[in-house]
Amino acid sequence: MIVVMQNGASERDIDYIVRRARSLGLSSHVSEQQGQILVGLSGDMRGIEPAALRGLPGVEQVKAMSHPYRLASREFRTERTEIPVRELRIGGDDLVLMGGPCSVESKDQILECAHMVKDAGGQVLRGGAFKPRSSPYSFQGLAEDGLKYLAAAREETGLAIITEVMAIEQVEMVCEYTDILQIGTRNMHNFNLLHAVGRTRTPVMLKRGMMSTLKELLLSAEYILSQGNPYVMLCERGIRTFETYTRNTLDINAVPSLRELTHLPVIVDPSHATGKASLVRSASRAAVAAGCDGLIIEMHPDPSAAWSDGAQSLAPEEFRRTFAESRAVSEALKPLTAAGG
């Protein structure tokens, strides 16, 4: 159950709701969503009617939720969330294009990539400063030096930046440099880390776990939202199935399904979903046609020399072509979307 407080509700009003919930045997959590105070209630709701809370001072409305993910649900918020990132609005009318290398390898490399992303029409530069790798002997990233190089690339090109945070102790440092925090697939169930990024006001892109359901993804998003950070976007990056030709299986169904279930923006990562550079263009067009709000694509000036994920990284010309085609699909669909198609 969610208690939505009126604009201007006093601390006394909020405290009364919390104490009233406690008297009913419920736990409560106070958060803010788009400037409005919410009190989430959990526990045994049997026999508790919303009307018992609706008439209390400062209460605007009380919502009984049918989904376990409350703040992420369309039941809670019917309007789609738009996330401000510098000059961008992720989740708005325009497709957001993110691109860059898997790993930040050097200052010169990330600056070169940043200019390629900007020249291709991208708005966000991706690059890993901390790299979770399957092998402990693989390149693990440049850490804070990588973050500094990303910040220098932003200064030079004006692009926003997104990079992964892997541990609670990294959150404060990464927030100093980045515009968007990325939670990788391996950390989708790292609930302590989700709480930590939820206590920031930095936008978060939450990647779907490689063997996770949409419900599990939305419940992980709920951990972030419940801590007061409303700026969460979801990323479909392919799931693990019995198919071995591709690195993962791109779940195109996830895009329209998530748009039905949640108000949060949906991003697609066709690079990790396919694992093959030759398939990224087609997967990107399909994702945009399905209704995603943005793409995040790996590219490299020389994929054969990339320190990580070269097989799925696009060369500059193919990268430009992919961005151009994806934007063309998005623009072609706008009249249908406006008409409710």
pLDDT tens digit sequence for 127-158: 999 866 566 656 567 989 999 999 999 999 99
> Looking at the structure, do residues 121 and 199 belong to the same domain, yes or no?
yes
Range of the domain at 11: 2-63
- 249 and 130 co-located in one domain: yes
Question: Span 217-221, mean pLDDT?
Answer: 98
Residue 30 pLDDT grade (very low, low, confident, very high; cuts 50, 70, 90): confident
What is the overall mean pLDDT for the chain? Answer: 92
Question: What's the pLDDT score for residue 133?
Answer: 57
107 inside domain: yes
Asked if residue 71 is part of any domain, the answer here is no
pLDDT at 43 over 80: no
Same domain, 21 and 169: no
DSSP 132: -
Same domain for 198 and 293: yes
Do 238 and 185 meet the contact criterion of CB atoms below 8 Å apart?
A: no
With bands split at pLDDT 50, 70 and 90, how would you rate the model's confidence at 182?
A: very high
Query: Domain check: are 46 and 106 in the same one?
Result: no
Dihedral sign computed on CA atoms, order 87, 98, 241, 185: negative
Structural domain includes residue 76: no
Closest CA to 296 of 246, 238, 219, 222: 238
Which of these, 96, 82, 90, 83, lies nearest to 326 by C-alpha position? 96
Count of domains for the chain = 2
162 and 93 in one domain?
yes
Residue 78 belongs to a domain? no
The stretch 104-110 carries a mean pLDDT of 96
**93 and 34 within one domain:** no
> Are residues 34 and 155 located together in one domain of the fold?
no
Q: Which of 57-71, 115-129, 134-148, 236-250 has the lowest average pLDDT?
A: 134-148
Same domain as 131, residue 32: no
Q: For the chain, how many residues are written?
A: 341
CATH number at residue 268: 3.20.20.70
pLDDT band at residue 192 using 50, 70 and 90 as cut-offs = very high
Q: For residue 70, is it within any domain?
A: no
Element (H, E) at 2: strand 2-5
Give the CATH number, domain containing residue 55.
3.30.70.1140
C-alpha distances out from residue 181 to 33, 68, 87, 167, Å: 19, 25, 17, 12
At residue 234, the pLDDT reads 98
Helix axes 214-225, 254-261, angle to 10 degrees: 50
pLDDT, residue 75, reads 82
184 backbone dihedrals φ, ψ, rounded to 5°:
-75, 170
Residues 196 and 56 in one domain: no
Is-contact 128 103, C-beta < 8 A? yes
> Quick check: 33 pLDDT over 80?
no
